[in-house]
């Protein structure tokens, strides 16, 4: 279903396509653990453009394409002519002559959209200021592993900044029918257009999406509590101001008293202990958080296999 398609946003995927990715990710993870090779992308090359820093995205995509029999090329904007002003539409058409797929991490979401418009090969969004779809698909896989397959019975609470992760959680929850309560300060809400789109996606699955200013209200009876940095990449200059505003949004033991007894805490990483999460809450949930990090590999292998495979 996804063959030859781009993966720019979970909003663009059908409900079936979301579950197809999760199911294949679980299958590829099991194969990898059993030592069964799955070289479905033998001879294929993925270009990975980075205009922002990365640990997980870079390593998991590069290792992932290698495990599928292909090769990954790390393309930093510091080295590409793109970084000196070559238009994205020209870069897209040139790279399409060499590569079988392009992953890009950048600032404005419009850059990814333009790249995809001009590229003849699948384009995968490795994070923009607006969205982080690969991470949220990964998180859905991790939730299934820790909380079972019935998303409709689960409540997730997102506490913190209304950023690219929040926007993608809204899209992800809407597609799988999960309840999602978002708590952010009122001047740091998730993107309005994303919120509206997600509400409309939720009509298909019955997902309940809500926003509140109150972390306690959002976390009430939640099965999954999730947070992210208060100052995303590109917002470093706002860090000190944000740090003051977001203090009530810290995920700590006191806040978690409101969650369900067996609640898990997730974080896409990198985490800033003492800011959005306390060290003790992080370490108590380290097994889930590092499963989440590992699952980037498996989820993205599924995404690459589905979008880049000829068959």
Residues that bind ligand CP (CB under 6 A): 54-57, 127, 135, 268-269
Catalytic choice (105, 109, 242, 267): 105
Distance of CA 256 to the CA centre of its chain: 23
Distance CA 190, CA 211 (A): 9
Q: Who contacts 165 (Cβ-Cβ below 8 Å, separation ≥6)?
A: 132, 135, 136, 158, 226, 228, 268
Between 247 and 286, CB nearer to ligand CP: 286
* Annotation marks residue 132 as catalytic: yes
Catalytic choice (56, 58, 242, 296): 296
Distance of CA 129 to the CA centre of its chain: 12
DSSP for residue 191? P
**Torsion angle, CA of 111/65/305/129, rounded to 10 degrees?**
-20
SS3 280: helix
Catalytic choice (58, 129, 134, 135): 135
Between 55 and 153, CB nearer to ligand CP: 55
**Torsion angle, CA of 247/109/202/221, rounded to 10 degrees?**
-20
Do residues 143 and 291 touch, judged by C-beta distance below 8 A?
no
* Annotation marks residue 152 as catalytic: no
Position among 228, 275, 276, 292 found at the interface with ligand NVA (CB under 6 A): 228
Closest contact distance (angstroms) between CB of 285 and ligand NVA is 17
Q: Give the one entry of ligand CP, ligand NVA, none that residue 92 binds, where binding means its C-beta sits below a cut-off of 5 to 8 angstroms depending on kind.
A: none
- Residues 29-58 within binding reach of ligand NVA (CB under 6 A): none
Between 127 and 207, CB nearer to ligand NVA: 127
Catalytic choice (11, 129, 201, 268): 268
Closest contact distance (angstroms) between CB of 297 and ligand CP is 12
List strands edge to edge, sheet with 209-212: 209-212, 179-183, 155-159, 224-227, 264-267
Number of residue whose CB is nearest ligand NVA: 232
* Annotation marks residue 105 as catalytic: yes
Q: Give the one entry of ligand NVA, ligand CP, none that residue 55 binds, where binding means its C-beta sits below a cut-off of 5 to 8 angstroms depending on kind.
A: ligand CP
Q: Which segment (42-50, 158-166, 184-192, 212-220) binds ligand NVA by CB under 6 A?
A: 158-166
Letter string b/e over residues 99-129, b meaning 16 or more CB atoms within 10 A of that residue's CB: bbbbbbbbeebebbbbbbebbebbbbbbbbb
Instruction: At 202, list the tokens.
Output: 């939720």
Instruction: At 306, list the tokens.
Output: 């589905």
- The verdict on 165 binding ligand NVA (CB under 6 A) reads yes
* Annotation marks residue 296 as catalytic: yes
Position among 163, 167, 184, 285 found at the interface with ligand NVA (CB under 6 A): 163
Do residues 18 and 175 touch, judged by C-beta distance below 8 A?
yes
Name the nearest CA neighbour of 72 among 310, 308, 311. Answer: 308
Catalytic choice (132, 144, 267, 298): 132
Q: Who contacts 263 (Cβ-Cβ below 8 Å, separation ≥6)?
A: 222, 223, 224, 225, 256
Q: Which segment (29-37, 73-81, 226-234, 302-310) binds ligand NVA by CB under 6 A?
A: 226-234
Closest contact distance (angstroms) between CB of 30 and ligand NVA is 26
Q: Could you tell me how many residues make up the chain? A: 311
Q: Give the one entry of ligand CP, ligand NVA, none that residue 229 binds, where binding means its C-beta sits below a cut-off of 5 to 8 angstroms depending on kind.
A: ligand NVA
Q: Give the one entry of ligand CP, ligand NVA, none that residue 164 binds, where binding means its C-beta sits below a cut-off of 5 to 8 angstroms depending on kind.
A: ligand NVA
Known catalytic residues are: 105, 132, 135, 228, 268, 296
Q: Which residues bind ligand NVA (CB under 6 A)?
A: 127, 132, 163-165, 228-229, 232-233, 268
């Amino acid at each position: 279903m996804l063959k030859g398609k781009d993966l720019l946003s979970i909003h663009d995927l059908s409900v079936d396509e979301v579950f197809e990715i999760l199911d294949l990710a679980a299958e590829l993870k099991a194969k990898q653990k059993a030592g069964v090779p799955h070289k479905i992308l033998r001879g294929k090359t993925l270009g990975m453009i980075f205009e922002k820093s990365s640990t997980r995205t870079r390593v998991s995509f590069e290792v992932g394409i290698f495990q599928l029999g292909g090769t990954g090329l790390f393309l930093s904007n510091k080295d590409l002519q793109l970084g000196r002003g070559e238009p994205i539409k020209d870069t897209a058409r040139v790279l399409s002559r060499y590569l079988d797929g392009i992953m890009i991490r950048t600032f404005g979401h419009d850059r990814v959209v333009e790249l995809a418009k001009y590229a003849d090969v699948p384009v995968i969004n490795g994070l923009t200021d607006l969205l982080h779809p690969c991470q949220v698909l990964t998180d859905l896989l991790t939730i299934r592993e820790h909380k079972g397959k019935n998303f409709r019975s689960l409540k997730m609470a997102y506490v913190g900044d209304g950023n690219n992760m929040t926007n993608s959680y809204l899209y992800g929850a809407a597609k799988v029918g999960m309840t999602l309560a978002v708590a952010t300060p009122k001047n740091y809400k998730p993107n309005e257009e994303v919120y509206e789109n997600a509400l409309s996606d939720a009509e298909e699955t019955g997902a309940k999406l809500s926003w509140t200013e109150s972390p306690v209200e959002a976390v009430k009876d939640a099965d999954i509590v999730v947070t992210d940095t208060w100052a995303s990449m590109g917002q470093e200059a706002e860090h000190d101001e944000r740090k003051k505003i977001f203090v009530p949004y810290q995920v700590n033991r006191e806040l978690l008293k409101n969650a369900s007894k067996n609640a898990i805490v997730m974080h896409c990483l990198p985490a800033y202990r003492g800011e959005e999460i306390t060290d003790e809450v992080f370490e108590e949930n380290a097994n889930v958080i590092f499963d989440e990090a590992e699952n980037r590999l498996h989820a993205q292998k599924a995404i690459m296999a589905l979008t880049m495979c000829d068959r």
